[in-house]
Homo-oligomer: A and B are copies of this chain.
Amino acid sequence: MARIAILGAGNGGCAAAADLTMRGHSVALFDLPRFAERLTPIRERGGIEIIGEGFARVDTITTDIAEAMRGAEFVFNPVPAFAHEVFARTCAPYVEDGQTIVTWGKGGACLIYGQVFREAGVGADVALGDTNTLPYGATRMGPTEVRIEARVMELITAAFPGRLIGRVMAALKAAFPEYSIRPAKSVLESILVDYNAITHPAPMICNAARIERGDPTFCLFDKTANTPAVVNLIKLVDRERMALARALGIEAYTLEEEIYHVGWNPKGREHEGVLPLYDAIHTEKLEICEGPFRLDTRHLTEDVPYGLFTYCELGRMLGVPTPVSDALVTIASGLLDRDFRAEGRSLAKLGIDPGWSVERLYEYLESGV
């Protein structure tokens, strides 16, 4: 079995460390020294318990990045998007030839690693990858306990440089042999299937007052929050994304087509085909999701700067107008008194020159130079 480093000991990282250990791998669980107190109880107990599945004795539990990276074949980084850069910087000096590093949960993250490694002068032969979502829906229930609520068995993955997609697929297949893992044609495809970025900001903003005062009955996707006018905003964002896809030569599905294809049409309407977006969005699975109960949460702080803002950046590069996405970025910034453009995932941070042609862009993504 493989030697695997998990960078980040949050919900996803703890679930992964225990799950991959149980699958027989030798796991090193790392977190940044400033989160050392997270690791202390895990080190004391010697591992992590997955509630209902059992206890996993994790081989290495460390805040020493050199120790975590040494000899790891696969490095997984299941952290929120805002943390990708700092983890990339932290591990850059210790990358070894032949390693494969896959960030989980946000399309485009492998480009952040690529840009940070370039700036840091990393010369090792490393394959970078990302997945569009975490393989688990997981929650830490105590200092050494994690609950896995769901396994997201369908992952879309992309590599940077694109020609190394085989190594990234191999890493994910080694970890999750029973999962369906689909390679994106390029990382742009994986960036453009960010459904959180498409569906979260509009209802967050159009329910901002209710969310800020913490209404305990709030559900982001029910009919009181996703009224027809709000769904129209989501649709406008989705169509801006479709226009970006067209300009990039990517065949994309509309949001309502995607909801149909993943089998999420509302009960009783499974056989009606693609529904109008308002009907499609009010599925049982989505409507029961509770919260959020405050504004300062990932539905804005992650999905706006690391999702929607990147769409705006691509729009500027491609000459595709993204007025509604732009407006949502501005309003979200104003509501939280932050500058999500300055914080966010710009083309520069992705290593992309906005002056490039589409051809040059694809050449860079495939070759890495």
- For the complex formed by this chain, how many copies does it contain in all? 2
Contact between chains at A324 and B335 (CB < 8 Å)? no
Per-position binary interface string of chain A over residues 223-260, scored 1 when its CB falls under 8 Å from any chain B CB and 0 otherwise: 11111111011001000000000000000000000000
Contact between chains at B210 and A336 (CB < 8 Å)? no
What residues of B have a CB within 8 angstroms of the CB of A203 in the complex?
209
Is A330 engaged at the interface, CB distance under 8 Å to the other chain? yes
Contact between chains at B330 and A229 (CB < 8 Å)? no
Alpha-carbon distance between A330 and B202 when the two chains are bound, in angstroms: 12
> How many whole Å from A176's CB to the nearest CB in chain B?
38
Known: A323-B330, A328-B331, A331-B331. A209 touches B233 (CB 8 A): no
Alpha-carbon distance between A209 and B208 when the two chains are bound, in angstroms: 10
Known: A331-B324, A331-B328. A210 touches B213 (CB 8 A): no
Chain A residues 187-230 with CB under 8 Å of chain B are 203, 205-210, 212-213, 223-230
Contact between chains at B330 and A232 (CB < 8 Å)? no
Contact between chains at A209 and B232 (CB < 8 Å)? no
Chain A residues 322-369 with CB under 8 Å of chain B are 323-324, 326-328, 330-331, 334-337
Known: A326-B327, A331-B324, A334-B236. A229 touches B212 (CB 8 A): yes
Alpha-carbon distance between A346 and B223 when the two chains are bound, in angstroms: 36
Contact between chains at B209 and A227 (CB < 8 Å)? yes
Is A165 engaged at the interface, CB distance under 8 Å to the other chain? no
Known: A324-B334, A330-B327, A331-B327. A209 touches B236 (CB 8 A): no
Is A79 engaged at the interface, CB distance under 8 Å to the other chain? no
What residues of B have a CB within 8 angstroms of the CB of A212 in the complex?
227-230
